Structure 1
Amino acid sequence: RILRPMIAATLIVTAFSFVMSSYVVPWSNLKLYSLLYDIQRLKPTFTLKPGHFNTAIDHYVIRIEDKDVRTDMLYRVMIYDHTSGQGNDRFVVADSGTMINDPYGRYMNMTLYHGVSYEETFENRGRPNQVEGYVRLYYDTLFYSFDLAGFALERTEEAAFSSHQYMLNLSELQAAVDSIDGVKGEVLGIFAKEVRKSIKVDTSFLSLAVYDGKDAPGSILSQFQKRKRKTILEGALNNSRRIQSLTAKAVDILDKEDRAKRERKIELHMKYALPMACMVFLFIGAPFGSIIRRGGAGVPIIVSIIFYLAFNVLMIQGKKMAIENVLSVWTGVWLPVLVMAPLALFLTFESVTTLNLFSVNTFWTLWRAFLRLLLWLNPLYWLWKIPAFQRFAIRFLGPIIRRLFPNR
């Protein structure tokens, strides 16, 4: 009667968990992983550190000697301009400068004060990349605009991630499993076709003459001329190598497809196994609240943590063994539920009966029964019940015992 409200609440939680894991979690995984992928490709924020050469902006190398954080003023600025693709053909130095980003973060505008710009000029005729001269420009103010497109977050199409098992709902997972079976059938069909093509025997060059002799030839090759034997052997060796290569490639493809199929079937079973775990934990936790009556809330919390850790270890190991094909997919995914469910039934039965199996007297009774079982399994126990064995033991062991313990 006490469990009825909790069972009703757990059923609601189980249904909610099933819906979330089947439809909402795949959609959120698609959004999350696509965003994480784009963030990983994103360049870090552009910052200038005094005394360091910064190469974050494409085709530019920037160095500053000092920086005033309060006024955003830069001192002793050096810029290596590689936009022409000719190396260090342009070099700009400035006594000071300022750096301001545009409101949209697309460009960085730098204003340099009191400096010199050095630039190499190249010939267009004759030898390419031949330096023709140098240009030195003194300036009071020079403006630079840097493109920060590489620092902007560019979103990838979500369709690129939609085939992963974490992004598929129930129907899509089942369709993915069926499609993998179709791919495996196509691979086997192509492999069989190529093998038949490789082992097909061309008999058009054989003579129609009938061999007339008393003894059969020792080898088929002996029926051919010597100059053709090498060609035949090389052709057979090449066909064998080709079949071996095709077999290895087909096995590799089938192994990958089998692994992909197991991964998707694991994810399909997980959408049912995790909601079912809610019911299992209900019938583990609720009976413990009535069985363990001492120690306040500390003991139930510790026991709950132990069961939770055990469940996670079983789930992780079961999934790993299912992926590696050590266990079947069904067994690997449902392993924690299969282990915890009998314990949940036992605890529920204990809580609704008067057996009081968790009392000290019960454990002491079980321990004595275990010791009696060990004694019953001992062969010496049954030998001692034989009178002849007792007389033999007393006659031969008595003097030895009296020598060891003379005062007894």
Structure 2
Amino acid sequence: MKKLHKLIILSYLRPFAATFFIVSFILSMLFLFKYIDELVGKGLEWYTILQLLGYNFAVNVPLALPLAILLASIMAFGNLGEQYELVAIKASGISLSRAMLPLVGVMILLSIAAFYFSNIVMPHSFLKMGSLLYDVKQKKAAFNIPEGVFYNDLDGYSIRVNRKDHDEKTLHGLMIYDHTQGNGNMNVVMAKKGEMFKSDDGRFLVLNLYDGVRYSENPGEKGYNERQRQTRIRFKEYGLKFDLSGFNLERTKEELFKDHYQMLNVKQLISKEDSLQTLLKSKQKNLDAYIEPTFLIFRRNENYTKIKADTALKWKNSDILNNMPATDRMVVADDAINSMRNVKSYLSTAKDENKSTNELLRKHMVEFHRKFTLSFACIVLFFIGAPMGAIVRKGGLGLPVIISILFFLVFHVLSMTGEKFAKQGQLEAYQGMWLATIVLVPMGIFLTYKAATDSAIFDVEKYQRFFNKFFPKKKD
């Protein structure tokens, strides 16, 4: 029995490892293609790009792991069925459910590992990847002055070079606009030749100019002269120094990103949910305290219904304003209008704040349930893939890949749809996040039963006989 367990486990782990890393690699390449514009041309170190890919590899586990489990299950039991090893196992008196038992234990271990990964590793990976990707986006492109166009990436300066030598250091025909004073194109330097090099620490660019002239325009004395004073200085050699700190990858503190809902574990999500619920109650209490004094006649009672106005007041006229002095009517009406405008503005602001807080609360609850749905999805997809492989009895990367992709598309579409509805408030968070699992569980039970009883669910003639009972053919 131990040898049989070893055979089944090894026949499963080999395709599982291969498919998991293949799918993860494809998803990492998709991430690379998505952010290729942010990475190319910025002079990033190779280890920085490798870090991004490593963090993205961890983030993609919720997509790669279920697909790998499903495909490996179909391939493993499809290979066993194709090579008649399942027939030999059943002939020896061992049922399919009993043969699947060692892999059920493996699935339980994988589910526990998946929960640990979702709860501990993924929030940390999201934090690292989010902060690093933000810093990469903020980094300027690598310093490189092109020929014939103005280069504006140096803060406060605009540089144009007619020609560069092959050493990329000697420049000819330079024009430099100095915008550091914030007064437009009032200062310009022109030179026939220049040489540039970086300081020893790489923080500054030093540009030595030769045979040129510097123009500057300034207001006249005391600012009353409409004409401007122009200064022209010719030079044989002139030096400029530019700060290159913007071209370096400056790391932002990760504490600025740690409160994002994707970067919290289960305990932190529960704490955040309580905080948001308390905030909503506090805002509702403040809203009631502001609104209720405004409406003295229609106040809420315990049943949240409108109570009747005070009938003890005796009015001569049904129109309340006509019971007041004519001189006070306009003042009272204006005061009532202003009061209603203030209430309307306050309600509009409170509505927007309540909507944004509820959206944030739903996102936290969606992320809370995501920590558990991944673990259960691993088990459910195994009980779909293993019996499906035993039924089709085809191994390799042909039919199993097609079947696994179809089932995974159903799982992924249901997951994304449920998550979207949950975030929009059309479904509760637990309903949206568990929608795919709830739909696929009956399918897994059905396939497991069919495989255990050796039912041929792909027998077309069987289905024809079934429908012929309800729709018999007419005899000629």
TM-score (norm 1): 0.81
Q: Do the aligned partners of residues 71 and 106 (structure 1) sit closer, same or farther apart at CA in structure 2, a change above 3 Å counting? A: closer
1:368 matched to 2:468? The reply is yes
Does residue 225 of structure 1 match 2:340? no
Distance (Å, rounded) in 1 between the aligned partners of 2:279 and 2:230: 65
Cα 1:133–1:296 shift into 2, 3 Å = closer
Q: CA deviation at 1:217?
A: 4.2
Residues in 2 aligned to 1:294 and 1:369: alpha-carbon distance in whole angstroms = 32
Equivalent residues of 2:316, 2:323 under 8 A apart = no
The aligned length equals 363
**Cα gap change, 1:235 to 1:131, in 2 (>3 Å):** closer
Distance 1:327 1:82, change over 3 A: closer
Kept in 2, the 8 Å contact 1:277–1:337? The answer is: yes
| Partners of 2:212 and 2:235 within 8 A in 1 | yes
Give the SS at the match of 1:362. helix
TM-aligned CA distance change 1:197 to 1:79, over 3 Å: same
Give the conservation status (yes or no) of the 8 Å contact 1:199–1:239: no
- Please say if 1:101 is aligned against 2:101: no
Give runs of aligned pairs for residues 108-127 of structure 1, distance below 5 A.
Answer: 108-120=205-217, 125=222, 127=224
Alignment counterpart, residue 251 of structure 2, candidates 144, 155, 167: 155
Structure 1 spans left out of the alignment, 5+ residues: 202-209, 376-380, 382-408
* Local SS of the residue matching 1:197: coil
How far residue 211 of structure 1 moved from its aligned partner, in angstroms, is: 9.3
Q: Secondary structure at the match of 2:143?
A: coil
Task: Report how far residue 179 of structure 1 moved.
Answer: 0.8
Larger mean Cα displacement after TM superposition, 1-10 or 277-286: 1-10
The answer on 1:323 being equivalent to 2:426 is: no
For residue 296 of structure 1, report the CA deviation from its aligned partner: 5.7
Q: CA deviation at 1:310?
A: 1.2
Residues 106 and 356 of structure 1, relative CA distance in 2, 3 Å threshold: same
In structure 2, the partner of 1:311 is 411
Which residue does 2:238 correspond to in 1?
142
CA root-mean-square deviation: 2.6
Q: State the structure with more CA Rg.
A: 1
Cα distance per residue 1:299-337 (max 9 Å; x no partner): 121100111111111111111111112222111111111
In structure 2, the residue matched to 1:193 is 289
* TM-fit CA distance, 1:30: 1.2
**Deviation, structure 1 residue 371:** 2.3
- Aligned-partner SS, 2:146: coil
Contact kept? 2:394, 2:400, Cα under 8 Å: no
Change (3 A) 1:211 1:148: closer
Q: Give, as a single letter, the amino acid of the residue that structure 1 aligns with 2:284.
A: L
Q: Which amino acid aligns with 2:362?
A: R
Query: 1:86 touches 1:129 (CA, 8 Å); kept in 2?
Result: no
- Residues of 1 paired with 2:233 and 2:201: CA distance? 34
Which residue number corresponds to residue 343 of structure 1?
443
SS at match of 1:199: coil
Hey, what does 2:375 align to over in structure 1?
Answer: 275
1:103 and 1:110 mapped to 2: Cα distance? 14
SS in structure 1 at match of 2:233: strand
Amino-acid identity (%): 33
Give the whole-Å Cα distance in 1 for the aligned partners of 2:346 and 2:229. Answer: 60
Greater relative contact order, per chain length (Cα 8 Å cut-off, separation 6+)? 2
Secondary structure at 1:252 match in 2: helix
What whole-Å deviation, never above 9, does each CA across 1:88-127 have from its counterpart, x for those lacking one? 3433222222221234331111122333333446655454
Quick one: which of 14, 17, 20 aligns to 2:111?
14
Residues of 2 paired with 1:153 and 1:136: CA distance? Answer: 38
Task: Give ranges in structure 2 of 5+ residues lacking alignment.
Answer: 1-97, 298-311
Where 2:471 maps in the other structure, the secondary structure is helix
Q: Residue 35 of structure 1 is aligned with which of 100, 124, 132?
A: 132
